[in-house]
Chains A and B, each alone.
Chain A
Amino acid sequence: MAANSTSSATPLLVSRGISKQFSGVEVLSDVDLDLMPGEIHALLGENGAGKSTFAKILAGVYRPTRGTLTMNGAPVEAYSPIHAQRLGITLIHQEPISFPDLSVAENLVLGHERGSLLGRVHWAGMERRANELMDMLGIRIDVTRPMRGLSIADQQMVEIARALVGDSRLIIMDEPTAPLTPKEVETLFGIARKLRDEGRTIIFISHRLEEVQALCDRATVFRDGNLVDTVNVADVSDDDIIRLMIGRSLKEYLHKQRTTIGDVALKVENLTLPGVFSDISFDVHKGEIVGVGGLVGAGRTDVARALFGVEPAATGKIHVNGSEVAIGDPSTAIDLGLAFVPEDRAVAGIFSSLSVEKNISAAVPGKITSGGIIRRALEHAVASDSVKKLRIRLASLQQPIGELSGGNQQKAILARWLLTDPSVLILDEPTRGIDIGVKAEFYDMIGELAAGGRAILLISSELPELLALCDRVLVMSEGRLTANFDRSEATQESIMQAAVPRSADQEVAA
């Protein structure tokens, strides 16, 4: 633990022997970690390694089964989010939880009001304070508008500002960058650095190693609930970190094999949903992987939802395997051989209180029944097969899926759709939150599916992913298709060029 002693300053927060069991299963064992003031500290590890659990213990969401936390030399004893907040620890959730109908300013001070005797709220003072904070962070958000309608990035900024209202010394960000555009990520990093320079401590959880290299001072790697090592980021390479994370080096993902490309499986003509996207035309052949690049909010998800019948387009034609079809709802889409892995897992994917098994089998009733009756053994076999294939980490198939780590939930949803054996597979940010070890395997799987004659439409904000996997890359910007690159033409630059909104052109060029 050489890295732990690099700083001679006294640590802000000391964790000793922190352990957590859920129903007798230990998911975090004896974590000893010193967090220094003025550092950005990455937590790394595979899906289910215990990062979020540790973060939640620090933030008072979970009570540790064993171990002690010391903040500024004083033991932390009462564990509750409010208590942690008072001590100056704030957890910024991946999906910010706030009060959508209250204004930004109100959300900022909520729970922090010192409260005069009669609980009167000082509106003017509140707004002034909110504006000061926004200026300090260098972000431009009108503090009088309601939270509803802010972009995810802006909502995150408000959450961060909220932490500053309470003068938090430790700010924990659990996978904050996943839903952000590259530019928003840069803004976030700028703010994080600024906060660090003020002497605050930031915990940063991410699966993107390049972000860790760019932002973090130290990194702690978890594996199977154990703290494996804490390192100075400057001293180690990505490969070292990966080896710490998965206990071996990562197998290199090679470009997708060229497969024989067959007939058109999905053909879209002039698809339009007013105000959302317009005039979308493209096709996907059997055996082909077509990527859709673009910035978050470019309308890619809306097109996918329209194709799958979740919110059908107003005009335009869709052909599946040569015949024109009307897809009014997802069940029709599924009958036609479509599958859709949605971006928003919590809302459109998981049945949180139901078992992993039931979640995996949800879209394939035919595979778990005989004579209309559910055969438990069949269902169990189907589900455990998927769990093995995708290496989903869980205590039992009967466990509610809400108890799995974020990445493992994502894998279970993937498993559900792979089971439908679709002829057209639409994937919306499928690797969001999935660790690098599994990503490569997932890419292999997509490649295999394509080789087996399936048509794949892959929406992704990760350019390397698009470049490595796709035969063609479409780019969307502001609801329109702006490019259709062949594999040879697609580069990071050409995709980004087509992705930026015309209105913001200059800004980016600058």
Chain B
Amino acid sequence: MSVTEKSEIAAAPQRESASARPRWQVMLIRPELMTFVLLIIALIVASSLSPYFLDIAYILDSFTLSAELAMVALVLTIMIIAGEIDLSPASGMALAACTFAYAQQAGVPIPLAVGVGLLTGLAMGLLNGILVIRFQLPSIIVTIGTLIFYRGLAQVIAGDQSIRVPEWFIGINRVLVFGIPVPVLVFVILSVVLGFVLSSTIYGRQIYLIGTNPIAARHAGIRANRIKMSLFLLIGITASIAGMMTASRLGSVRYDIALGGELQMVLMAMLGGTYIFGGRGSILGTFLAAWLLVIVSTGMIVANILPAMQLCVLGVLLIISIIATNFIYSRTQR
């Protein structure tokens, strides 16, 4: 019997002391890196098309056109990580802009009218939240419904013509702080704040937990419904702010503000490596993806690519990003 002699193997090195996976590997498997690399490539290609792309002011100026959508995409990212989705905020931007414009046209002082816009945002979030959480309906269906509903409501309020906003309210995108247009600045600040909340607070941690395994999260005492409701309210109010910023940029409000914007929001989140099934993703990814998308779309305009073709490119980008993200995540979990 070899029992005793074989026991010598007890001295074999313990695996606990084995080194963790190499640092570079941990870095490599982050999907944000993919976004970053794409961003650099896009910058190189774009600047070979037009030297404008070497001018930071030009890029910042182009970004103001997407900054409002990008702001909402940040919150949408958190929503997707929590395991839900909201497709209605682009319509919500239009509805909030319309109620705001309508109110101020009816003689309500601007600060109050802004309040009306914000309340509209909250109400939209509340409705989505109640339908999804109280009635336990799938958020993708609910928010496709409210996407249509909010847009329709905007048209009912504004009719087919545009409502002008007062002269002094126009041009938020022309106001520069430290040389940066205000919408871009707002986007950057929001990124920093949300990035911090998501990565360093219990609220953020619990968002990852409920997105990863809702049943285990429930067992761990996490109040998922509260968190999800707060996210619906947050995305509603962010959409209303974004809507009013759009109104200021355009100088007038129509019901078709940000028409189709939900696609770009989803695209930004996906390009940033957010996992469509929840539980993974980061604000940094969406932040980078927003810049990537602006450079790609502006680059295509500069390169005189047909608008239809531009759409194709965006569609292909969306599909590739989902496949790549899935691939990266599946590799980390063989």
Residues of A within 8 A of B (CB): 1-2, 22-27, 48, 62, 223-226, 228-229, 231, 235-236, 240, 243-244, 247-248, 308, 310, 329-331, 333-335, 340, 342, 347-354, 358, 362-363, 365, 369, 372-374, 393-396, 398-400, 402-403, 416
Contact of A353 among B7, B217, B279 (CB under 8 A): B279
A396 CA to B279 CA in the complex, in Å?
Answer: 21
- Report whether A27 and B15 are in contact in the complex, using a CB–CB cutoff of 8 Å: yes
Complex interface: chain A residues within 8 A of B10 (CB) = 223, 247-248
- Report whether A373 and B219 are in contact in the complex, using a CB–CB cutoff of 8 Å: no
Residue of B with least CB distance to A349: B216
Complex interface: chain A residues within 8 A of B14 (CB) = 224
Q: Which of B195-226 contact A (CB under 8 A)?
A: 200-202, 205-206, 208-209, 212-213, 215-223
A462 CA to B124 CA in the complex, in Å?
Answer: 54
- Report whether A362 and B15 are in contact in the complex, using a CB–CB cutoff of 8 Å: no
- Report whether A225 and B9 are in contact in the complex, using a CB–CB cutoff of 8 Å: no
Given contacts A247-B7, A372-B202, contact A353 B212 (CB under 8 A): yes
CB distance from A113 to the nearest CB of B (A): 28
Contact of B223 among A331, A348, A369, A372 (CB under 8 A): A331
- Report whether A244 and B201 are in contact in the complex, using a CB–CB cutoff of 8 Å: no
- Report whether A362 and B20 are in contact in the complex, using a CB–CB cutoff of 8 Å: no
Q: Which of B7, B18, B219, B222 has the most CB of A within 10 A?
A: B219
- Report whether B19 and A310 are in contact in the complex, using a CB–CB cutoff of 8 Å: no
A236 CA to B222 CA in the complex, in Å?
Answer: 49
CB distance from A177 to the nearest CB of B (A): 25
Which 5 residue pairs spanning A and B have beta carbons closest together? A247-B10, A396-B20, A23-B21, A334-B221, A331-B221
Q: Which of B110-134 contact A (CB under 8 A)?
A: none
- Report whether B209 and A362 are in contact in the complex, using a CB–CB cutoff of 8 Å: yes
Contact of B219 among A310, A369, A393 (CB under 8 A): A310
| B12: Cβ under 8 A from any A Cβ | yes
| B3: Cβ under 8 A from any A Cβ | yes
- Report whether B215 and A240 are in contact in the complex, using a CB–CB cutoff of 8 Å: no
Complex interface: chain A residues within 8 A of B27 (CB) = none
A389 CA to B6 CA in the complex, in Å?
Answer: 28
Complex interface: chain B residues within 8 A of A24 (CB) = 19, 21-22, 25
- Report whether B21 and A393 are in contact in the complex, using a CB–CB cutoff of 8 Å: no
CB distance from B68 to the nearest CB of A (A): 30
Complex interface: chain A residues within 8 A of B217 (CB) = 351, 362
A225 CA to B18 CA in the complex, in Å?
Answer: 13
- Report whether B3 and A395 are in contact in the complex, using a CB–CB cutoff of 8 Å: no
Interface size on B, residues (CB 8 A): 43
Complex interface: chain B residues within 8 A of A236 (CB) = 1, 3
- Report whether A330 and B280 are in contact in the complex, using a CB–CB cutoff of 8 Å: no
Complex interface: chain A residues within 8 A of B21 (CB) = 23-25, 395-396, 399
Contact of A23 among B1, B13, B25, B280 (CB under 8 A): B25
9 pairs from A and B in contact (CB 8 Å cutoff): A24-B21, A224-B14, A231-B3, A330-B220, A331-B222, A335-B221, A349-B219, A350-B216, A354-B212
Residue of B with least CB distance to A50: B15
Contact of B215 among A23, A347, A399 (CB under 8 A): A347
A229 CA to B4 CA in the complex, in Å?
Answer: 11
Stretch at the interface among B248-256, B265-273, B305-313, B326-334: B326-334
| B2: Cβ under 8 A from any A Cβ | yes
A351 CA to B213 CA in the complex, in Å?
Answer: 6
CB distance from A173 to the nearest CB of B (A): 22
Complex interface: chain A residues within 8 A of B202 (CB) = 365, 369, 372, 374
- Report whether A373 and B201 are in contact in the complex, using a CB–CB cutoff of 8 Å: yes
- Report whether B201 and A374 are in contact in the complex, using a CB–CB cutoff of 8 Å: yes
Q: Which of B231-265 contact A (CB under 8 A)?
A: none
- Report whether A244 and B216 are in contact in the complex, using a CB–CB cutoff of 8 Å: no
A474 CA to B128 CA in the complex, in Å?
Answer: 47
A395 CA to B213 CA in the complex, in Å?
Answer: 23
Given contacts A23-B25, A229-B3, A393-B15, contact A353 B280 (CB under 8 A): yes
Given contacts A228-B9, A351-B212, contact A340 B205 (CB under 8 A): no
| B55: Cβ under 8 A from any A Cβ | no
- Report whether A358 and B12 are in contact in the complex, using a CB–CB cutoff of 8 Å: no
Residue of B with least CB distance to A29: B12
| B167: Cβ under 8 A from any A Cβ | no
CB distance from B35 to the nearest CB of A (A): 19
A393 CA to B18 CA in the complex, in Å?
Answer: 11
- Report whether B22 and A395 are in contact in the complex, using a CB–CB cutoff of 8 Å: no
A226 CA to B9 CA in the complex, in Å?
Answer: 8
Complex interface: chain A residues within 8 A of B9 (CB) = 223, 226, 228, 247
Complex interface: chain B residues within 8 A of A350 (CB) = 213, 216
Complex interface: chain A residues within 8 A of B205 (CB) = 358, 365, 374
0/1 string, B13-52, CB within 8 A of A gives 1: 1111011111001100000000000000000000000000
Contact of A342 among B3, B15, B22, B219 (CB under 8 A): B219
Residue of A with least CB distance to B2: A229
Given contacts A224-B12, A374-B201, contact A416 B220 (CB under 8 A): yes
Residue of A with least CB distance to B204: A374
Residue of B with least CB distance to A240: B3
A sample of 6 more A-B contacts (CB under 8 A), given A330-B221, A331-B222, is A228-B9, A310-B219, A353-B280, A354-B212, A395-B19, A400-B333
Complex interface: chain B residues within 8 A of A22 (CB) = 334
A340 CA to B208 CA in the complex, in Å?
Answer: 21
CB distance from B218 to the nearest CB of A (A): 6
Complex interface: chain A residues within 8 A of B201 (CB) = 369, 372-374
CB distance from A125 to the nearest CB of B (A): 37
Q: Which of B282-334 contact A (CB under 8 A)?
A: 329, 332-334
A398 CA to B9 CA in the complex, in Å?
Answer: 29
CB distance from A345 to the nearest CB of B (A): 9
- Report whether A363 and B221 are in contact in the complex, using a CB–CB cutoff of 8 Å: yes
Residue of B with least CB distance to A229: B6
Complex interface: chain B residues within 8 A of A62 (CB) = 334
A329 CA to B12 CA in the complex, in Å?
Answer: 47
Given contacts A347-B215, A393-B16, contact A403 B333 (CB under 8 A): yes
- Report whether A2 and B212 are in contact in the complex, using a CB–CB cutoff of 8 Å: no
A386 CA to B149 CA in the complex, in Å?
Answer: 51
Contact of A352 among B20, B222, B333 (CB under 8 A): B333
CB distance from A27 to the nearest CB of B (A): 7
Complex interface: chain B residues within 8 A of A247 (CB) = 7, 9-10
A21 CA to B19 CA in the complex, in Å?
Answer: 12
CB distance from B29 to the nearest CB of A (A): 10
A23 CA to B7 CA in the complex, in Å?
Answer: 28
- Report whether A402 and B333 are in contact in the complex, using a CB–CB cutoff of 8 Å: yes
Complex interface: chain B residues within 8 A of A342 (CB) = 219
Given contacts A224-B12, A353-B280, contact A330 B218 (CB under 8 A): yes
CB distance from B19 to the nearest CB of A (A): 7
Complex interface: chain B residues within 8 A of A23 (CB) = 21-22, 25
Residue of A with least CB distance to B199: A374
Complex interface: chain A residues within 8 A of B334 (CB) = 22, 62
A399 CA to B25 CA in the complex, in Å?
Answer: 12
A152 CA to B333 CA in the complex, in Å?
Answer: 26
A264 CA to B49 CA in the complex, in Å?
Answer: 78
Complex interface: chain B residues within 8 A of A244 (CB) = 3, 6-7
Residue of B with least CB distance to A398: B20
Q: Which of B1, B25, B216 has the most CB of A within 10 A?
A: B216
Complex interface: chain B residues within 8 A of A231 (CB) = 1-3
CB distance from B220 to the nearest CB of A (A): 4
Q: Which of B6, B25, B222, B333 has the most CB of A within 10 A?
A: B6
